[in-house]
Structure 1
Amino acid sequence: MENQNFKNHTRVDPLFHYVLTLFVLGTLVTSLVYFFREWSDGGSVLLACVLFLAAGSILILYVLVRMYALKAQDRAIRAEENLRHFVLTGKLMDSRLSTGQIVALRFAGNKEMPALSQRAAEEGMNSKEIKQSINDWRGDYYRI
C-alpha cells in the first residue's frame, strides 16, 4: 500500500460510495416516477405511496448508517489521540480543540503532534490547515 500523505489520504469504498449510492438514488427516482405515473393514470396511488415511503426510508437509513459509523470512528480517534497526547506530554489535549481538529491531528507524527495541537487550539486552525502543516505524516490505513 502506498504511503499516505495529504494528497492521497482520503479513502473511498467503491461498493458503498458508488454502487450503493447509485442504487439508493435510482430506487428513489424510480419510486417517484412510478408515483407520478400512477397519479396521472388514476392507478394504484396507495402502492406508489408505499414504494416512495420505502425508498425514502432506505435513503434515510443509508445516510444514518454512514453518519453513525463516522461518529463512532471520530469518538475512537478522539480517545486515541487524547491518550497519545497524554503519553507524549503528560497533559490531556486542549479542550478548545474540536473533534475535526483532533481527527486531523491523528496524521501528525509524535514529534510534531504536541506543538501542532497547541498551535491549532491557539490559532483556531481548521482540519485542512492542520493536515497541510504536517511534515511527518502518520498514515491512517483503517478509516474509510
Structure 2
Amino acid sequence: MKIQNYDNHKKFYAPHHFIYLPLLAILQIIGIWKIFSDEVNQLSWILFSTVIFLIIYLALMVRQHYALGNQDRIVRLEFKQRYFEIFGKRSDEVENQLNFGQISALRFAYDEEFKILIEKALNEKISGDEIKKSITKWRPDHHRI
C-alpha cells in the first residue's frame, strides 16, 4: 500500500465519483439542452431534468450525510480513546476547546507529535489544515470512508 501523507490522503469511491455522478450530469445536460431544442416535448424534458436533478441532489446529500456523520462520530471516539491512553485522563475539557477539523487532523500524527500538536492547537488555535501540514511523520488512515 502506498505511503499516506498530506498530498495523497483524500479518497474517492470510483463507481460513485467517476461513473454514476458523471452519467447523471450528462443526463442533466441533455435534459436542459432538450428543453430549449425540442419545443414539442418541452414539458416532458422539464420533468425529466427536474427528476435527474433530484436524483443527483439525493445521491450527493444522503451519501455524504450518513457516511460523514458516522465517520465524525468514530473520529471523535478515537480521539477520546487516544487522549486517554496518552494522558491517562478524560478528554472532555480539551475536546470542547477544539473544533472537529482540529480533532480530525490530529489523528494523522503519531503519539509524540500528537502531544505537541494538541498543545499548539489549544494555545495557538491553529487550524486542522495547519495541523496536517505540521505533521513530520504521517500516521496513515487507510480505513476511512
What CA deviation, in whole Å up to 9, does each residue of 1:32-70 have, x standing for no partner? 1122223xx3x1333222201111111101220342112
Rounded Cα–Cα distance in structure 1 between residues aligned with 2:82 and 2:127 = 20
Tell me whether 96-105 or 45-54 shows the greater mean CA deviation.
45-54
What is the match of residue 115 of structure 1? 116
Aligned counterpart in structure 2 of residue 46 of structure 1, from 38, 43, 46: 43
CA contact (8 A) 2:34 2:42 kept: no
Q: Which residue of 2 aligns with 1:67?
A: 64
Corresponding letter in the other structure for 1:36: F
1:83 and 2:76 are equivalent in the alignment: no
How many residue pairs get aligned? The number is 141
Please give the root-mean-square deviation of Cα atoms over the aligned residues, in Å: 1.8
More helix by share: 2
User: Is the Cα contact below 8 Å between 2:101 and 2:128 reproduced in 1?
Assistant: yes
Give me the whole-angstrom Cα distance separating, in 2, the residues matched to 1:94 and 1:74: 13
Question: Is this contact kept in 2: 1:94–1:118, CA < 8 A?
Answer: no
2: distance between equivalents of 1:70 and 1:129? 21
* Partner in structure 2 of residue 58 of structure 1: 55
What is residue 25 of structure 2 aligned with on the other side?
25
One-letter amino acid matched to 1:123: E
How far residue 98 of structure 1 moved from its aligned partner, in angstroms, is: 0.9
The reply on whether 1:36 has 2:33 as its aligned counterpart is: no
> What letter matches 1:72 in structure 2?
N
Post-superposition offset of 1:130: 0.4
- Deviating beyond 6 angstroms after TM superposition, the runs of 4 or more aligned structure 1 residues are none
Report the CA distance between 1:122 and its aligned residue.
Answer: 2.1
Give the % identical residues. Answer: 31
